[in-house]
């Protein structure tokens, strides 16, 4: 893994693109598969897994809990020796950085153990709420404690009794996913009722898909009710992780700014991740989307005119910043809706995106659930973009530098959270 400087200046690309790239394995799939494989009985091989800070925190926490895990970054493989629902360690203090996914999934998993555990992380993680998850676990008979409703969380575990619980869906779908992943090992059936509007619903489908891959079936009534009977995950001899759709969004967006075509080789239109739907937003903006040799390719609008869009991104909020980076170059305004949950991510992404667009000379209106971005291709100015230790701020705003001279990304190393080699892969777009 390369060490990045304190700042990176992005050089514009002056010629149309004709590039093929591969993105890292999906973070969402990697962390779900790590948890499920640890709960399964026997050895699972994860292939094309993500190697980044988020997946490392999840894997290292499982090792602290007594699971045997072998990680090979060069081969992009992870071997997990599952313990059949048993948590080997009778106690542990887990530090999970700013990995919200790991925190939500492992807090639920720990209730299956027998012992005293603590889940903690970075200062920002200590600001990210877990109330909905903790309340649901308490309703299922678990003993979980948090003074603030955020990490640190203490889990005094003696197995998860089960039963019925209501879980809020508006803050994060990861609460529901964490409960579902561990529910098969509760002592009695688990019924989960979702209150409010469930955001990022495709990620729940992703969770149910991974559970099914490992042999566990879930009864459901849309996104309102889920029932999980006691079952056992089955270890998988060779489980392949598809490319990360959120990471791919930056490369799909690049032709809209520079011209030409980029194909992501390890992600197809039938990918399981909801964020693959971002290519449909690009199509609304005038781009051309094709599936070629099993990979998705995006080309610039044939007429060279990028159109603004009005789009609800509540189910694909991790791609909202990618759209925000394109919007100033559209001929008409762009309204991004439904992403109030993004305010509780690695940073307040709505506010941070508005601040940095304005720094670059873009007119923006901030709303409770999103933002409106006005055309600014002729008025953009050089600037050093602050990233707020948020990988998606760094990756999205680097795209603007492919078109506008003088864009500098501060603290580019924050991309190590999910895509350590992002800037190296971005460089491969340059025509030879």
**What pLDDT is attached to residue 139?**
98
Determine contact, residues 253/399, Cβ cutoff 8 Å.
Answer: yes
Mean pLDDT to the nearest integer, 354-378: 97
Q: What are phi and psi of 337, to 5 degrees?
A: -120, 165
| pLDDT at residue 174 is higher than 90 | yes
| pLDDT at residue 257 is higher than 70 | yes
Instruction: State the Cα–Cα distance between residues 404 and 175, nearest whole angstrom.
Output: 40
Domains of the chain, with CATH numbers? 7-25+245-427 (3.65.10.10), 27-227 (3.65.10.10)
Query: What's the DSSP call for residue 413?
Result: G
Full-model pTM: 0.95
**What pLDDT is attached to residue 1?**
56
Closest CA to 197 of 95, 88, 339: 339
| pLDDT at residue 424 is higher than 80 | yes
Determine contact, residues 111/145, Cβ cutoff 8 Å.
Answer: no
**What pLDDT is attached to residue 412?**
98
Active site residues: 318
E strand or H helix that includes residue 164: strand 163-168
What angle, rounded to 10 degrees, do the helices at 27-39 and 53-64 form? 10
């Amino acid at each position: 893994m390369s060490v990045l400087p304190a700042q990176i200046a992005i050089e514009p690309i002056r010629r149309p693109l004709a590039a093929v790239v591969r993105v890292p394995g999906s973070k969402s799939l990697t962390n779900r598969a790590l948890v499920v494989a640890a709960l399964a009985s026997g050895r699972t091989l994860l292939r094309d897994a993500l190697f980044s800070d988020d997946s490392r925190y999840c894997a290292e926490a499982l090792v602290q809990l007594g699971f045997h895990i072998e990680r090979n970054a060069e081969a992009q493989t992870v071997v997990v020796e599952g313990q059949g629902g048993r948590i080997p360690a009778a106690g542990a203090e887990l530090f999970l950085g700013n990995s919200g996914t790991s925190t939500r999934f492992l807090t639920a998993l720990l209730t299956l153990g027998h012992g005293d555990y603590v889940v903690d992380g970075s200062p920002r993680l200590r600001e990210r709420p877990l109330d909905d998850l903790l309340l649901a676990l308490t309703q299922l008979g678990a003993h979980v404690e948090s003074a603030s409703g955020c990490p640190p969380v203490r889990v005094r575990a003696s197995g998860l009794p089960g039963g019925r619980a209501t879980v809020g869906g508006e803050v994060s779908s990861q609460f529901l996913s964490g409960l579902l992943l561990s529910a098969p090992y509760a002592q009695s059936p688990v019924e989960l009722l979702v209150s409010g509007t469930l955001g990022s619903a495709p990620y729940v489908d992703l969770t149910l898909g991974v559970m099914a891959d490992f042999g566990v079936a879930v009864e459901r009534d849309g996104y309102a009710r889920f029932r999980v009977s006691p079952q056992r995950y089955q270890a998988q001899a060779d489980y392949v992780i598809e490319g990360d759709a959120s990471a791919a969004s930056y490369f799909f967006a690049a032709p809209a700014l520079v011209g030409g075509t980029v194909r992501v080789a390890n992600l197809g239109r039938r990918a399981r991740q909801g964020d693959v739907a971002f290519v449909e937003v690009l199509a609304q903006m005038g781009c051309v989307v094709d599936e070629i040799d099993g990979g998705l390719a995006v080309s610039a609008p044939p007429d060279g005119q990028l159109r603004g869009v009005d789009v609800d991104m509540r189910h694909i909020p991790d791609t909202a910043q990618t759209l925000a980076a394109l919007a100033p170059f559209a001929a008409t305004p762009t309204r991004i809706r439904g992403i109030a949950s993004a305010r509780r991510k690695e940073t307040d992404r709505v506010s941070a995106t508005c601040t940095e667009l304005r720094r670059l000379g873009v007119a923006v209106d901030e709303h409770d659930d999103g933002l409106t971005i006005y055309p600014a291709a002729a008025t953009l100015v050089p600037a050093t973009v602050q990233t707020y230790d948020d990988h998606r701020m760094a990756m999205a705003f680097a795209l603007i530098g492919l078109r506008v001279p003088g864009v500098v990304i501060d603290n580019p190393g924050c991309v190590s959270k999910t895509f350590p080699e992002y800037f190296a892969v971005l460089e491969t777009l340059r025509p030879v």
